[in-house]
Structure 1
Amino acid sequence: MPLVAEDVASQIQDFIIAQNLSEGSRLPSERDLAKILSTSRPTVSQAIRILVVKGLIQSRRGSGSYVTRRPQESLAASVNLMLDLDRDSVHHLNDLRLWLETMGIVQAIERGTDAEIAEGEAALEVLKDSIGDISAWMSADTHFHATLVRASHNPYLASIFESVHATLIEYEYRAWVDKGTVPKWLRKTEAAAVTALHEPILQAFKERNEEAGRIAVLHHHYVMAQHLIASHAQ
């Protein structure tokens, strides 16, 4: 009996642990993983998407999949469980994300370095390049926001924020991941709108403008809330 994607995702996690793969390590190709796990490549592709939305793997267009953290270290699992137990609480989780990112950006504006601004600029370029590819987008979006919040120099804030964001991304895109389709707001025709949503957050960081940062984060929050509503309706 062929393994379902969730089973394969668990096996890939076990493979990461067994091979002692550290953060940033590149996974074998989907073809090689299919051979290692004795399953089909489409099933491996689905399993990779599951791990991407869990925040355990980063998908890079044209490059492959990379470990973002060891599975046993993921705070997102606990947050995800809470949301699974009460799906109607998603708006509370989105509010928490707003508060965490607002504080993160305010602190980044105060404490962030020029090197961290450059990291944010690079993350934005990756985000732009990922539009149209749902797996790459989820990785790039989490990476962009987390990069800016890490510039707050508060590792606890950054870790909790990334876990909350990853859980919301999983919730938001789960239906489209399952279907293998791309929501209308992630199509290549919407590239300008997607950039306009994220660029002001980085610009506020670059200009050390706290008020602009708060406004940009709040605007992103409202747009994400609409996407969550659309996702829930799927």
Structure 2
Amino acid sequence: MFTEGRPRRQYRQVADQILLLAAARGLGSGQRLPSERDLAEMLSVSRPSLREALIALEVEGQVEIRMGSGIYLASGAERGMLRADAEGPLELLEARCIIESAIAEEVASHVTPALLARIDDNLRQMRAAMDDTPLAIRIDGTFHEIVASGLGNQVLVGLTAQMFQKRLTPFFARFSSYFEGPHTWGDALAEHGRIRDALAARDPAAAREAMRHHLTQSQRRFTESVLVERAEGAALQGI
């Protein structure tokens, strides 16, 4: 039976368009691409989609994002291509938002003192790890697994852990490295606290909304923060 191939993910399509634009302009390795804002306008794509594409190309060694300078073409010779079906960070966060919000809603009806004690211990650990992003990421993942464990369903715990593990891929890790730090972990900790309080209140609707808000805000932090735009503007003013 004939089976159609999977459609290319949006960030991959945008990445291809960026490389085609560079080729059409005769740009070679070491030459600067248009700004993030200009590229989005030229390709008629959203800034989040463009950002995913640029960072995918950087992981592959096709471009170099220089903070304080701009985006430059690179040779791509030292790194391999991402898997053709590799999930984009924003697609993954959207999936987590849908699934984990539903899990939190169900967990609110099954909360035990032992579960709350585990969550409280996790929150204390995260509070102490604000300046250590790799450690904060691990503690963050544990928080979401603890919440999922409240249903006693190992399939859901495994699914939650599996989705979070994708956060550790080179693509997602590079993506998040531009936007995460003590200030974002402070926001995440406050959001985790609201999820904890909704669970403690045994309020399914509030638990669902608190988890939805947390993962929506995580996506917002990645898409609304400045990548190189402000630095590019400053550099241009100094010319």
Q: TM-score when scaled to structure 1?
A: 0.54
Query: Is 1:224 aligned with 2:215?
Result: no
Match of 1:195 in 2: 189
Can you give the 5+ residue segments of structure 1 that lack an aligned partner in the other structure? Answer: 1-82
The answer (yes or no) to whether the contact 2:119–2:147 under 8 Å persists in 1 is yes
Question: Where has structure 1 moved over 4 Å in runs of 4 or more?
Answer: 169-173, 182-185, 189-192
Going from structure 1 to structure 2, the CA distance change for 1:90 and 1:119 (only over 3 Å counts) comes to: same
CA distance in 2, matches of 1:169, 1:230: 21
Question: What is the deviation of 1:173?
Answer: 5.7
Match of 1:141 in 2: 140
CA distance in 2, matches of 1:226, 1:171: 20
Higher Rg of the two aligned structures: 2
Question: What is the deviation of 1:194?
Answer: 3.2
CA distance in 2, matches of 1:139, 1:120: 14
Question: What is the deviation of 1:224?
Answer: 1.5
Question: What is the deviation of 1:170?
Answer: 4.2
Deviations 1:65-102 (A, max 9, x none): xxxxxxxxxxxxxxxxxx84335644332222112211
| 1:1-234 superposed matches below 5 A | 84-87=83-86, 89-168=88-167, 170=169, 174-175=173-174, 185-187=180-182, 192-229=186-223
Question: What is the deviation of 1:117?
Answer: 1.0
Going from structure 1 to structure 2, the CA distance change for 1:128 and 1:183 (only over 3 Å counts) comes to: farther
Higher relative contact order (CA 8 A, sep 6+): 2
Give aligned-pair identity as a percent. 18
Going from structure 1 to structure 2, the CA distance change for 1:194 and 1:224 (only over 3 Å counts) comes to: closer
Question: What is the deviation of 1:176?
Answer: 7.6
Question: What is the deviation of 1:163?
Answer: 0.9
Going from structure 1 to structure 2, the CA distance change for 1:88 and 1:120 (only over 3 Å counts) comes to: closer
Can you give the 5+ residue segments of structure 2 that lack an aligned partner in the other structure? Answer: 1-81, 229-239
The answer (yes or no) to whether the contact 2:131–2:181 under 8 Å persists in 1 is yes
Match of 1:25 in 2: none
Aligned letter for 1:197?
A: E
The answer (yes or no) to whether the contact 1:171–1:228 under 8 Å persists in 2 is no
The answer (yes or no) to whether the contact 1:120–1:147 under 8 Å persists in 2 is yes
CA distance in 2, matches of 1:145, 1:94: 13
Match of 1:110, SS?
coil
Question: What is the deviation of 1:213?
Answer: 0.8
Q: How many residues align?
A: 147
Cα-Cα RMSD: 3.0
CA distance in 2, matches of 1:217, 1:172: 24
Question: What is the deviation of 1:153?
Answer: 1.4
Deviations 1:131-186 (A, max 9, x none): 11011111110011111111121110111111102213546762289xxxx65642
CA distance in 2, matches of 1:151, 1:95: 22
CA distance in 1, matches of 2:223, 2:167: 12
Q: TM-score when scaled to structure 2?
A: 0.53
